[in-house]
Every structure is written in structure tokens, then in C-alpha cells.
């Protein structure tokens, strides 16, 4: 694997979105909008892009300080250029290919065992949800990790919004299906990408629906405009670019379980003592540092989630 070293100018946790940046960016955006300057300032193309996103003014959101880190944040330039997004290719270098993802208009279907099925536009959904920033570790099953300031809303808030029936036992997530836009979907995998959680996992405080990262709307390569993050689980659970959320009674078959049943399971909780059939999970490469460090049970989040698995010891909880 490539080793990526952090450069001196790249950010640390304490600098992710301090108040000064928060204020400066808003002032800048007001100024740019007032002058109609997006097109006059070619050097500020990322600013122009942020303006094109109708939710840009909602970022950065207030940070929820409950979730502490034991390490630095991964620089944005590193995290956004080392991605798994198989819809756009099998390499980690999908940043440019993912730019063909069209994120507006973007509808999310909420259906299954709910009081009333509905289709909601991402911008309307965002207006109804409480946005916050959380610094979360991310541990890929491939034994690398990163730490990202995600912005989003608790999945629990979406569950309340959806009003599921008591017969709903699982929540199933589905990514868009559009092989014309996403060339990876012409390959043999069981598209579309599907993931699922139990209802108890879904309403756990840590389960986050992500709509932003690094104090801005979510970049395409990260799975804009809506993805999941359950940081005590391996990264493949964190399904990107969601278009459908269904409440169901039976445990859904997930993308990786279907593609590689001997290697990937439904629960996918991080555990350094349970190896993948082809490699150890004991340590992880910390992206951007050149170092490895020991992997922690539940990725270090056991105090928040271990109770979810009491009585389930016979399940394959750790693959």
C-alpha cells in the first residue's frame, strides 16, 4: 500500500473548523454572492462549487464534542484521494471519475414498513434535520484507517421522520443504480450497493447520516449527497450516495455479503482479534502518517455500542 505523509501545512484536529474559519467562509460567500463573483474569480473554483450546492450555507455545523479522538484528523487532501467507491472503479483513485456523479436533483425514497411511504428531495430533508459535526475514526476492512470531521444528522432523526411500524426490524439502504453515469456498475458485482442495520443499531446515537465533510457539503468521492457512518463497523457498511431507505422485517442481503459470503458478513463490527480470512485485523495503516497502530475492539467505540450485541454472541459479529 502507498504510504502518504502529512505535510506541515495540512490540518490537525484543533484546526478543522474553528470559529474563525466558520465566520470567514460565510463572510466570503456573502461577498462573492453580492459581487456575483463566482465566475470572476477563477482561482476560487472550489468556492464557486460550494455556492452551487444549495445547502452550502449550512456548513460548517456546530461540532458535537461528545466523540473524542485519540489521533489527528486525516488531511482532507489525503482522505479525498484514497477512496472506495466501486461504482466509479476498483482503484482507490476514483476522485476524478466520481465527478460524473450528478447530485441534483436527488430524491431519497423512504418506504417499506412505515406509516406512509414518501419521496423526499435531499434539500428538503436537510432542512428538516439537525446538522452537527462529529470527528469519527473510519476503519476499512482492508486494514487502513482515517479520521474525518463529518457533518450530518443522527440516523435516529431520520427514523423519527420516517415513522416506521413496530413490525420493522431492520433498515435497508440502497445506492443509486445508473450504469451510464457510473461505469463501475457495468461490472459483475451485485448492483446496486445495499447495506443494512438492525433497528437497535439504527437508533443508536452514534449512527450518523452524513451530508458533509471538512466543514462543507459532502464531496462526490465521499458519497454525496447522503451516506451512512457507523464508526464501530468496518467501512463497507458506510454506504454512499443513498437513494432508498426501506424499513423491513427480514434481514436484508447486503452487497458484500452477496459478493463474498465467506469474507464479509452482515454485522462487520471491528475486532482486532478476528482476522479476515486473507489478512490480520490486528493493526491498521493510519492514512497520511506512514504509521500503523493497533486496531481497537469496536474501533474504540465500545462504550457507546457494545450493549447492542448482548445475547447475540452466537452471531458472526466480527466479519
Ligand X SMILES: Nc1nc2c(c(=O)[nH]1)N[C@H]1C(S)=C(S)[C@@H](COP(=O)(O)O)O[C@H]1N2
What is the Cα–Cα distance from 212 to 225, expressed in whole angstroms?
8
Number of residues interacting with Mo ion: please give it, by CB under 5 A.
4
Which of 97, 98, 140, 248 touches ligand X (CB under 6 A)?
140
User: Cβ of residue 237: shortest distance to Mo ion, in angstroms?
Assistant: 9
Establish if 140 lies at the interface with Mo ion (CB under 5 A). yes
175, interface contact from Mo ion, ligand X, none, CB < 5-8 Å by kind: ligand X
Contact range with ligand X by CB under 6 A, out of 38-46, 81-89, 102-110, 196-204: 81-89
What is the Cα–Cα distance from 296 to 294, expressed in whole angstroms?
6
Report 167-186 residues binding ligand X (CB under 6 A): 175
Which of 153, 236, 309, 318 touches ligand X (CB under 6 A)?
236
User: Cβ of residue 225: shortest distance to ligand X, in angstroms?
Assistant: 13
Which of 149, 215, 219, 235 touches Mo ion (CB under 5 A)?
235
C-alpha cell at 205: 446515537
Which residue, 45 or 93, is less far from Mo ion as judged by CB? 93
- SS3 percent helix, strand, coil of the chain, rounded to 5, is 30, 25, 45
Contact range with ligand X by CB under 6 A, out of 128-136, 233-241, 278-286, 309-317: 233-241
Establish if 84 lies at the interface with ligand X (CB under 6 A). yes
Establish if 271 lies at the interface with ligand X (CB under 6 A). no
What is the Cα–Cα distance from 60 to 2, expressed in whole angstroms?
31
Contact range with Mo ion by CB under 5 A, out of 19-27, 46-54, 136-144, 254-262: 136-144
Complete DSSP assignment for 63-78: B-TTS--SSPPPPHHH
> Which residue is nearest to ligand X, using beta carbons?
235
Contact range with ligand X by CB under 6 A, out of 65-73, 160-168, 238-246, 260-268: 238-246
Residue 61, beta-bridge partner list: none
User: Cβ of residue 138: shortest distance to Mo ion, in angstroms?
Assistant: 9
User: Cβ of residue 72: shortest distance to ligand X, in angstroms?
Assistant: 16
Specify whether the CB–CB gap between 28 and 93 falls below 8 A: no
Establish if 216 lies at the interface with ligand X (CB under 6 A). no
Q: Which of 76, 68, 70, 69 is nearest to 6 (CA)?
A: 76
What is the Cα–Cα distance from 125 to 133, expressed in whole angstroms?
17
Q: How far is CA 136 from CA 86, 153, 164, 244, 256, in A?
A: 23, 13, 28, 24, 23
Establish if 236 lies at the interface with Mo ion (CB under 5 A). yes
Establish if 318 lies at the interface with ligand X (CB under 6 A). no
Which of 11, 32, 85, 201 touches ligand X (CB under 6 A)?
85
Residue 29 is inside which H or E element, if any? helix 19-35
Backbone angles phi, psi at 88, to 5 degrees: -115, 10
Coil vs helix vs strand at 183 = helix
What residues line the site for Mo ion (CB under 5 A)?
A: 84, 140, 235-236
Amino acid at each position: 500500500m502507498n504510504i502518504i505523509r502529512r505535510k506541515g501545512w495540512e490540518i490537525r484536529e484543533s484546526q478543522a473548523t474553528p470559529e474563525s474559519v466558520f465566520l470567514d467562509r460565510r463572510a466570503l460567500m456573502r461577498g462573492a454572492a453580492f459581487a456575483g463573483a463566482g465566475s470572476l474569480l477563477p482561482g476560487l473554483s472550489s468556492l464557486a462549487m460550494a455556492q452551487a450546492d444549495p445547502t452550502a450555507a449550512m456548513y460548517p455545523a456546530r461540532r458535537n464534542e461528545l466523540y473524542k479522538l485519540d489521533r489527528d484528523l486525516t488531511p482532507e487532501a489525503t482522505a479525498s484521494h484514497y477512496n472506495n467507491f466501486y461504482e466509479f472503479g476498483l482503484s482507490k483513485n476514483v476522485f476524478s471519475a466520481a465527478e460524473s456523479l450528478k447530485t441534483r436533483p436527488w430524491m431519497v425514497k423512504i418506504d417499506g414498513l412505515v406509516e406512509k411511504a414518501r419521496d423526499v428531495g435531499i434539500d428538503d430533508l436537510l432542512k428538516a434535520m439537525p446538522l452537527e459535526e462529529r470527528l469519527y475514526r473510519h476503519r476499512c476492512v482492508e486494514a487502513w484507517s482515517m479520521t474525518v470531521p463529518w457533518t450530518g444528522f443522527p440516523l435516529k432523526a431520520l427514523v423519527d421522520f420516517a415513522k416506521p411500524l413496530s413490525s420493522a426490524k431492520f433498515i435497508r439502504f440502497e445506492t443509486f443504480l445508473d450504469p451510464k453515469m457510473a461505469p463501475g456498475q457495468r461490472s459483475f458485482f451485485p448492483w446496486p450497493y445495499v447495506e443494512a442495520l438492525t433497528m437497535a443499531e439504527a437508533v443508536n446515537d452514534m449512527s450518523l447520516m452524513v451530508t458533509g465533510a471538512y466543514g462543507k457539503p459532502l464531496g462526490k468521492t465521499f458519497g454525496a449527497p447522503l451516506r451512512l457512518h457507523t464508526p464501530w463497523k468496518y467501512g463497507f457498511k458506510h454506504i454512499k450516495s443513498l437513494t432508498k431507505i426501506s424499513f423491513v422485517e427480514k434481514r436484508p442481503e447486503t452487497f458484500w455479503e452477496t459478493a463474498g459470503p465467506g469474507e464479509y458478513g452482515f454485522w462487520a463490527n471491528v475486532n482486532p482479534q478476528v482476522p479476515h480470512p486473507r489478512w490480520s485485523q490486528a493493526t491498521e495503516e493510519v492514512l497520511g502518517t506512514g504509521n500503523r497502530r493497533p486496531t481497537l475492539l469496536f474501533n474504540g467505540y465500545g462504550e457507546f455500542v457494545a450493549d447492542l450485541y448482548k445475547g447475540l454472541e452466537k452471531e458472526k459479529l466480527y466479519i
